Amino acid sequence: MATLNHANLQWRKSSRSTSYGNCVEVAFAGPAVVARDSKDSDGAALAFDAVTWANFIDGIRAGRFEA
């Protein structure tokens, strides 16, 4: 996947994010969904295709990642 310029993306956090700073931000970049640690906005980010991201969100909603 091509290198993305993070500064040009519209990042957003979940409305369920807490004030403890343990949050993930996401941005939509064409066909990719990009995720990063909100505490390190200049750090690394992970890019996923839309189908993979949708499957991940479905897994969260289904509770498949509960400890």
pLDDT at position 23, please?
Answer: 86
Average of pLDDT values for 19-32?
A: 85
The predicted model scores a pTM of 0.74
Whether the per-residue pLDDT at 16 is higher than 90: the answer is: no
Report how far residue 41's alpha carbon sits from residue 7's, in angstroms, rounded to the nearest whole number: 9
Q: Where are the domains of the chain?
A: 6-61
pLDDT tens by residue, 28-67: 988 899 999 888 888 899 999 999 999 999 999 999 998 7
pLDDT at position 66, please?
Answer: 87
